[in-house]
Each structure stands twice: as C-alpha cells, then as structure tokens.
Amino acid sequence: MSIAYPSDCSSHERNIDLIRRFIDEVWNAANPEAVPAFVDDAYVDHAYQPADAQGHMAMVKVFNESFANARHRIEEITADSERVVTRIRVEATHVRSFRGIAATGATIAVVQYRSFRIANEHIAEHHALLDTAALLLQIGGSLDAAQACKPR
C-alpha cells in the first residue's frame, strides 16, 4: 500500500497517517485481512502470538468474536521519523465468551497503549499494552492468574 504524500509532508506526519489508517481499517473495521497491507515483510509483533502478521490477524479475530460494536479511538498520538506511540480508548460490547467469561452484554471502556516502529512506510514492529484488569472487571471476571495474559 503506497500513498502519495505532498512533498512538504514530514515523515512523522506520514507515520501518524499510517497508524491512523491501520487502526481504522484493521481494528475499527474489524478486518484482520487488512493487516498484511500495512506491515513490512520482516514484521515482528511483540504483543501477539505468533509474533508476526498472522498473530496480529488472529488477535483481531479473537477480539471481534468476543466484542461487538468495537470502537478504537486514538486519544493521543505522537511520532518521530521511525516510531509512533498511541493511547487508544477501546469501547465495545461483550457478546461472546472471552477468556472463559461468558457473554455479559456489558459495555467495556478500556485504555490501550501501542508502539509501532515504521520502516519503508510500513509497520515493522509492534508492542501493545491493554488494561486487561479493567476489561476483566468490567465483564465480571476476576484478577486471578487463570485469566491473565501468559508471558512468553
């Protein structure tokens, strides 16, 4: 995917645009199949397993199977020539089982931080941190190890 930018558009502005489009076209559109268009061939994902585009696509699927009407709203975004960092508010409705918690119909509102390294106008690397504790409490879960993320 290549976008023609004006000649006076800085690399950090292009990087911000790339990430805004990524969040909209992948997460807000619930379209995991769009991930490969945004990521570099050597993409590494430090948040999902497997640690590549397939892992990111799988997480989009898992999230959207459990939560409907999801909206990932960028509240803060900052960038330089090769990195973009975001704070995103995720709002959705819990419609199917998530980490063993049956659907509750509850609306969630949680914060997520994401960091992206950009290379060749594509995402080369991704880190993410979701307030999982807040999410679990909002859907009636507990904060025990059985529902927590497993370290690699």
How far is residue 57's CA from residue 135's CA, in Å, rounded to a whole number?
21
The whole-number pLDDT of residue 87 equals 98
| pLDDT tens per residue across span 9-49 | 578 888 999 999 999 999 999 999 999 999 999 999 999 99
At 79-127, the pLDDT tens digits run 998 999 999 999 999 999 999 999 999 999 999 999 999 999 999 999 9
Q: Where are the domains of the chain?
A: 11-147
CATH number, span 11-147: 3.10.450.50
